[in-house]
Every structure is written in C-alpha cells, then in structure tokens.
Structure 1
Amino acid sequence: MRHLIPTLVLTSLCTLLACKPRDPWITPTPIPPGYDFPGNREEIQQWADAWITARITPKAWNLWAGLHADSGQVYPGTGLPMPVWDTWSGEELFPAPGAPTPDVSRRKATHGFHGPRQFHHPAGSSPVVTPTDQLVSFNKFNPEMAAYLTQGHPAVPGGPSYFYNRFTSLADLNSQWPANTPTAQRTVQQAPYTAPSAGNRGSAAMELKPVLYLVKKHKPTLVPVWRGFAGSADAGTTCTPEQQEADKCHPTPSLWLTCAIVDPSAPADVPITEATPEQIQGVAPLIDQVNNAHPGAAILSCQHYLHTPLSAIYSFQMNADEAKAFNDTNIEGLQAEAGDYAVLTAMHVNTKELVNWTWQTFWWQPGSDAPDDFPGSKKGMTDKVTGAGRNYAMCTAYNQTQGQGSSKMTVCFNPYLETSPNIPKGVQSNCMTCHGTAAVASAFANTASSPPATWVLQTPSYPCDYKAPIDFATYPWFTGFTTTDFSWAIPADPQPLPQNPNNLPSPATLNCP
C-alpha cells in the first residue's frame, strides 16, 4: 500500500496542474554503413556519363534499403521501429519570421502534412487545376543537409552571410547581385559532399519528398496503383504519342483503374492476391462515399482490385494533429482520424553525390510492374531491400540524357506526382531537368489571401518540355533569379503554405505553348 501513495499524490498534482505528457523527441540518424552511401563522386559521374545502368540501378536500390534501415528509435506510443529517413528534420528547419534558428540535433516526432506542390503549380500560363487526389507530402533533410540549410553562407568570400531557410535572407541574397552578374555566379553555395577515404565514410547532403495516402485503422481502404497509360480512365489506349506531345495526358492517381484494398486486419504474411468478390463488395460503399463527396470529378476510379495486407506498404499511425493536417489538405473525400495509417505511396530521393545530384524516385507498385516498365520497375532490386520495400518500383536520372553526348532524354517521373495537369509535360519529365530550374527571386505579398497578407518568394516555373537538356549556366529564364543548387525546397519551404494554396500568386511563367 505504501507504494501506491506517491502515485496517488502525483495523479492529484497532475490533475491540479493540468500535466501533459512530454513531447517525444527524435535524434536524426544517418544511413548506417553497408548501404553504399555515400559513393565516390568521380566514379558515379563516370557511370552517369557512360549510362552504365548496371551500376546505377543497384546503387539506387541500396540507397532505398539504407533509408529504411532501423534507426534504433521507435514511433512514440507504438513501439514500432522508426526507419532512418523518418528521423530526419523536415519543414521545421524553415522557421517563421523572427523565430530562432531551429535545433538540428533533435526533432519532434510528428509530420507537417501539406499538399504536394506539383498539385498547386500552374502549368506555364495556364490556371491551376484543383486536384482530387487525396495525397499529402512533406520534405525531409538528412543531418548534413539540415546543417547546410540552417547555417549562414556568404555570397562572396568575406561578404555577409545569408540563410537559405529564411525568405527575407533569400530575397536579400538575390537583390545584392550586381546587374551584370552571370547566371552561373548567381547561385547559393553548393550543398556539402565529402568523398569517402581510408578511415572516413564521407558524407553527402540528401533531400527526400515522401508522398502519403490514407488507410483507415479499422477497415480496408483503397489505394490507387499505377499500371501505365492503359490503366488510366482518362487516357486508356487513346493516350497516343501525339497526345502526350500536346500535353493532353494526365493520368492522375484518381483515374487509375487498379486499386489495392489495403487491409489492416490481414496477417502480415498474407500475400498480395486478386481480390475476391466479397472483398470488392466490402469497399464499394467507400468508393461511393468519396466520389459522392466530390461530384463531377472522380476521387477513385477502381475497376480492378488487389487484396493487400498493410505489411506490404510502409506506414505509420497518425496522431490527432497529423489527422487534422491530412483533412485540412484534403477537404473532401476520405477523412482521417487519430490512429489511422499514413502509407508511403512514393518518395523522391536526391543526394549530393554528384555535382548535379543523383536522382531516384520510388513509388508503390504491388504485384506486377507497369507495362513496358514505364517509367521504371522493380528490376535490378538488390537483396538489401527487404519487407515492404520490395513492393516499390524505381527509376533514376543521373543525367538529363542517357549518357554524355546522347540526344535521347532520360524519362523518370513519379506517377503519384508528375501526372498532375499542373505540370507541363510531366509524363515526359525527368528529375534533374526539373530541379535544375529551381531558383528564387524577391519576396512579395499574396494579396489574394485574407489578412494578414502571406509573404511568398517568387520562383521560376517548371520547364515547358523535356525535348533537350538544359544548360543550367545559361538558362534564359534565370534572369533576375538566384539558382538554389537543384533544391526546390529552398525557395518553397521558407514560408508555410496557406490553407488554400490555389490563391498563391503565380510564379514567373514560361508562357508554355
């Protein structure tokens, strides 16, 4: 009985003082040894120049495995192991004006969801198309990239320092360049890379863009699965090369005909199978519910179904704040609540192992690969990839073209993102060409939003097309801009997105034909 008294006293004190559980903190953890990261820059550049995919592909798969290695930490309240990538810092590295510099040595174990920015960007001079795809996203930065973003950097030796995580500092950086400064010199300092050597693993900055969908905690939930143009309701077999060239093909996830019935109650060792009529009938009310919430534009277009255990896709459970953020991003359709699962449908991954970064993108591809392995596949996956990671496809873009001197452009896009109608020629795009146009200009007020005004940074548009490689040192639309070392996060993340990002002022457009 004497052991119970202190507990009763503590309980009474907490009642009086409104005690709350301490916020859990996570320590950012690097990719452990054994996953071929970082590699030797000169060697990797040789692979890219010679288009040696037999070396590039396994390196990218080993990186994928390393990202999902056990960090030794757990998701708070669940006891489930947290993968390395989810320990890393996110948009909290970009503080509000006047806020202190964030601590990069630890972070709160939560996720700040927002809509993928590809969904809210005008295609050239075209208006923004409101998406129906119920996806959320955020950025992640490994410890080296986090330190780079939060430290000051001079524009010229001996000059004042500028901070790439603050929009006022970025605007000041852009305005200090003399008018005749060449494009190649109007740039931020490059993100860090240290080559591996004897006794030194080396290091390289890395950025991630995870993209997540919702699975309800107590019932099977539908997640669209990419099966190429022919597996999309809007394109089908009529999506001809001519239509692709005319930018008429936008097979977004809301139009995919194949859907996985992700079942949280299914045992972890259950294989992915064709769904039974009973399983299909069980999710029919869910399809009606979400589509009726958005009449006139589908949220789900399922016709073919796979029954899939939750163990077949990476996931974590959302807390109440995360569920609210999901619902704020996706006003209509399926609603999240605490305990529901955020499932990883896609992830862009870029590393500073090359001067122009390495580029690989992954998306959930349960069952067979898409027809013609377009834009990528599960082929070449190494044994280091285990568990749910083996249900993802991948493509790489270590060069804009298929080797130095080649005129054949690389095609590598993420079906969950770049099929958006708000991206010019998204289904012909590649990561390097797109990110190579990342830049920042002045800060200005969004007068379309309700008071107080939202300050945003002016950025260039995406490329109009991907017919030829871009010379990043002379790109004509960089006039008046400061390039940001292939990082769209630098110009995009220093200010939070408003509730309705469709009200943001249009970026500088290319007036795409």
Structure 2
Amino acid sequence: MKRTLLWGAALVGAAFAVATPAANFVPYGSYQRSCTNISVSGDSLSASCTTLSGSQLKTTLVELGQCMNSITHYGDIANLDGSLVCMPDLPKVVAGFEFPRAESEINGWVYGQDDTAMYRHGWGIWAGLTHYVGTVGGAELRAFETWDTPSNMLYAIGQASSGKAKMLGSEVRKAQGLRLQLPHQFRNTAKAKGDLKLLLKEWQSAKAATSADTNIFVSVAYNPPASSHAVSNKLFYASTLKNYIKEGYKEIPNFPANAITIKPVYKVITQSKVVDGIYTFPGWPGTPDPARAFPESDWANCVYVAVKGTGKGGNSIDPTCANPNASNTFYLNNFIHQTISKDDAAYLNSQFGLTAKAGDIAILVGMHVTTREIKRWAWQTFWWSADANSPKLPSSDAIAKLRPKELDEAAGHYAMSLAYQMVSPAQPINGGASEGESVIAYNPHLEAGFDPGVFQILKAVTKSPSAVQMNQYGVQTNCMTCHNLALYSPSTDYQANNGANRERPYGTDYYMSLDDTTFDGVLRLDFAWSILGSLDTDK
C-alpha cells in the first residue's frame, strides 16, 4: 500500500537533506501494535517494545529522518524481537541517487550506451541495501538483512489464507537469521547430478586436498514491496500459477518498479576451518581466457582471513596458496559478515553436516541484486575483492572508481558487474536480433564453475558477418538472459530428479525476445527464478 508521510508541513526530503520531525510527530509503523511509551526526540524514535518472550525492552531507532525518507512509499518501522528497526524498500544514502528510476531514463542509458550512469546507479543500490538500519540484540543490521526470505513469505501466505493475519509479523517480528541453503542452480552441474548433497560431499572432499574452503551457501530475500507483491498474489503456490495459465495469462502479475530481490552468498567460518587463527578461501583470479568451466577448486589462489582483531588488510591474493603475509591477509572488518546464533548453528549442522557453533562467523563473498525498474529488470552482481580499486574481470577499474564515498569499509571491499541489456548495442525487448557484443555479467562464486551441460538453451551471438560467438560456459553468462527463461510449465514435474527441473531451462548470454516461442504454452515468472525454487507444489 502506497502512502505519503508528512512531517509537520514539510515532505520528507532526500536522505542527505531530511526535515526534522514536528515536536508531537509519531511515525507510522507496525511497531505501534507492540510498543508503548513512544516518543520522538530530534532524529531518534524511542519506545518500550515487547520481545518474543513477552518481556519489555527499551529501544531507540536513530537516523529517523533517513528511515522515514526510505519508507515513504513502501517499508515499515518494525519491532524485531524488542528492537525498533527501519525496514525500507531501499535506503537512499548516496547524494543524488534516486530509486526507482523511471524506465524511460534507464532505457536512455542503455540505448545511449551511458555506462557511467548505469555504474553509478548500481553502486547507489549497493550503498542502500548495505546501509545500517537498526540494532537487534546488540548487532547492527543492514537493510538487506531485514528483508523477507521465501520461507517468511510462504508463512505469511499461509497466515493470510487462514485468516489469522494479512501481513507477516503483524505484532513482533523475528530477526531473519541465517537459514542458508546450497545454491539451487548447482543442481544442473555434472557433479551434482540433480542432488545438491552429492555436490556438498564433493566440496568437502576437495577441501581435504587444499587449505582453501570451497563451500558456499546462499539465501534469497525480497525487499518490502517485492515481498508484499509475492504474498498478496500467493506467487509461491503452484495452484496460483496453474490458475493463471487456466485463465489465459502469459506471465504472472508484474512486480512493482521498486521491487528488489537478492541472492547473498556466504562462506561459513567454523572453528574446524581455522588454523592458527587464519581462515582460508579461494581468491578470484579473474575470467579465464579461453573461457572454460572455472569452479572455486580451480582458482589456485587464496585469501587469508584473521578471525581475531581488526585492521586495514592487504590488497592481493596468494597465487601459491602457501605464503600468507600482510599483503594477502584480511580481517573480519574487511567483510560484511554476521555472527552465527545457536539456532543458526543447529540448522547448519543438521542440514549440511557442519560443526558450527554459536559465535562462529558467516562472511559475505557475493550477492546477486536485481530491481524491477525496467521490464527485463536491472541486474547487478557483487563479489568480495582483495583489491577493490582494481578488481578482476568481469568487473573493471572503470566500475571501481565510481564507488560512492558513502560505502563503509566493509561494503567498499566489493566489486561489481552489471547487465541492463543482453548484447551491445542494445536490442528492443521484442523483435531484436542476437548480434553485437556479448554483455557478460556473472558472479564468480555462483556461475564461474558452469560447463555447457548446465545450459539447456544455447544461441549464437553474431559479432560480425564473419564472426559468430557461441557462449557456453558460466563465465559467458548474463543474468538478464538467464532469468528471462524463468517460467512455469504445467506439464513439468518439479519434484522429480531432486527438484532439478526447478532450475531449467538455463541459458548463457545471447539476445532473447520476450515473445520468443520458448514461452508458448507456459507462464513467464517475471524473471524470478526464486519463485520456482521455493514453489510449494502441494498448495
């Protein structure tokens, strides 16, 4: 539900020029249903809020003005287990940054080949979603850490269907926690054979031969407008998708323009992986030439993380994986990271055979981020870089130099690649041709290891009358092309082969029209593979 909030007689301004709330102003939010003694002083909101255990906790939300600016159209001020937390669609923390941008404006960048504008926009999104928005249990939360996971949304759909609640967490919300999973798209790899547990065993056996930890875990989350859309339309129920097809729909109702979905990628640092105070994981050496499948186990470079203390850290990776020193050793403050709770540890151990304990750390090594600002969504992907000033391909120095000063130390340690088009020059959304230069945008931790067997649909890109390129590896992919293939087919068994069909068909990078014949007789999912990945086939 859209709403406009007034502070006295002044509209909330940009994050860098926010009006001060009127003396008796009390901001709207779901926190009001479980908090008392609410007051505003300067730029802070204070209250006494109920915890999940039923006790009362005095809590204060600072930077209230910036929060109100962020939730003007969507979002909430919520009670997370006794703590006031700002839950925006996206904080606007970079001067001049706007979100969502008009589709015509972004199209102007794309068709006008204004790479700088696209890079600045991608960094503005990153600055917003990594911005701190509140504190829960003494730990500061970044915006993306408050967003809803598919399990949260499925719960909300169930509650709404039963008439118990219309929205998730109507009284006291629970902090998200780290309900991580193995990357679903890895089901299609030859080593997984549809079974992610086989892949996990392969990772664990690979670790025995090297000191670098090749395990990765992911989650998926939707920002408030994306979550609201998915919940209200029951998009995670197979019955909903079947009804759309029965009613003649070609695609699901489109997400709103300010919808954002993300896939964070983590390394879990357990004590068993720490040797003499150092944790080791593979360092990204850049896109291989010629292109090939390039999983973490083949990177042959290492990054070292000192799990105690803080520091500036180095700026390189170790090409020998045998010589840790000041230039290739970093600290936890150089990473976006979360502390693992007792519940998180129990879950990770039961699901993946880890030896995690409360107090262990999960470091963020990558994240896919996409916004519904344009019809085919705007795609950017981020990964941790030892030298963020000069990152390896598929990023570049040109992208890195546009990082905004508003990024904190940890958030500034990530590289970016983006895809607001499939090929360059950009083709129209319908009726175009697969020609020009490939626009490559992939995440090293997610797609780099893919071989041709992962992809069900391959098409050539004609670079010139005498040069045709057939992209067939993960390092030749583009998020837009791949997610364009997100579809639901009523004739497909999504439970078979350990759920591998939930990740098919996949493609590399090439131009594909929105009205391609591939979509005949199926339901397009508005580029959201995550719907199929978490689909409840019994509902």
Distance 1:379 1:445, change over 3 A: closer
Q: CA deviation at 1:444?
A: 4.2
Q: CA deviation at 1:126?
A: 7.3
Distance 1:485 1:447, change over 3 A: closer
Equivalent position of 1:429 in the other structure = 477
Equivalent position of 2:349 in the other structure = 327
Structure 1, unaligned runs of 5 or more: 1-18, 153-162, 179-184, 194-203, 230-238, 281-299, 450-455, 497-513
| RCO comparison, higher one (Cα < 8 Å, 6+) | 1
Report SS of the residue matched to 1:173. Answer: helix
Letter in 1 for 2:523: T
Instruction: Pick from 113, 120, 126 the counterpart of residue 64 of structure 1.
Output: 126
Q: CA deviation at 1:274?
A: 6.7
Distance 1:91 1:62, change over 3 A: same
TM-score by length of 1: 0.70
Distance 1:477 1:324, change over 3 A: farther
Distance 1:495 1:320, change over 3 A: farther
Equivalent position of 2:112 in the other structure = 50
Report SS of the residue matched to 1:345. Answer: strand
Distance 1:221 1:126 in 2: 30
Equivalent position of 2:393 in the other structure = 373
- Contact 1:418 1:426 (8 Å CA) reproduced: yes
For these two proteins, the number of residue pairs brought into alignment is: 400
- Contact 2:187 2:193 (8 Å CA) reproduced: no
Equivalent position of 2:217 in the other structure = 136
Q: CA deviation at 1:208?
A: 0.6
What percentage of residue pairs aligned between the two structures are identical?
22
TM-score by length of 2: 0.67
- Contact 1:258 1:304 (8 Å CA) reproduced: no
Q: CA deviation at 1:240?
A: 4.7
Q: Answer yes or no: is 1:167 the counterpart of 2:224.
A: no
Distance 1:322 1:28 in 2: 22
Equivalent position of 1:272 in the other structure = 314
Equivalent position of 2:174 in the other structure = 108
Distance 2:320 2:167 in 1: 44
Distance 2:347 2:393 in 1: 34
Q: CA deviation at 1:301?
A: 9.1
Report SS of the residue matched to 2:158. Answer: coil
Letter in 2 for 1:215: I
- Contact 2:219 2:264 (8 Å CA) reproduced: yes
Equivalent position of 1:420 in the other structure = 449
- 1:282-320 alpha-carbon deviations (Å, 9 max, x no partner): xxxxxxxxxxxxxxxxxx993464210100000010112
Letter in 1 for 2:362: A
Instruction: Pick from 250, 262, 267 the counterpart of residue 213 of structure 1.
Output: 267
Q: CA deviation at 1:127?
A: 6.3
Distance 1:457 1:27 in 2: 37
Distance 1:97 1:308 in 2: 40
- Contact 1:62 1:384 (8 Å CA) reproduced: no
- Contact 1:435 1:488 (8 Å CA) reproduced: yes
Q: CA deviation at 1:494?
A: 2.5
Instruction: Pick from 81, 100, 103 the counterpart of residue 24 of structure 1.
Output: 81
Distance 1:41 1:223 in 2: 40
- 1:350-406 alpha-carbon deviations (Å, 9 max, x no partner): 011111111100000112677763345634212222211111100010111123256
Distance 1:49 1:28, change over 3 A: same
Aligned ranges 1:294-333 → 2 under 5 Å:
302-303=321-322, 305=324, 306-331=328-353
Structure 2, unaligned runs of 5 or more: 1-51, 56-79, 161-165, 204-213, 428-434, 456-472
Distance 1:274 1:39, change over 3 A: closer
- Contact 1:89 1:146 (8 Å CA) reproduced: yes
| Aligned residues: CA RMSD | 3.4
Distance 1:403 1:460, change over 3 A: same
Letter in 2 for 1:145: A
- Contact 2:217 2:266 (8 Å CA) reproduced: yes
Equivalent position of 2:306 in the other structure = 263
Q: Answer yes or no: is 1:189 the counterpart of 2:189.
A: no
Distance 1:91 1:108 in 2: 15
Deviates more, 1:379-388 or 1:45-54: 379-388
Equivalent position of 1:117 in the other structure = 184
Equivalent position of 2:18 in the other structure = none
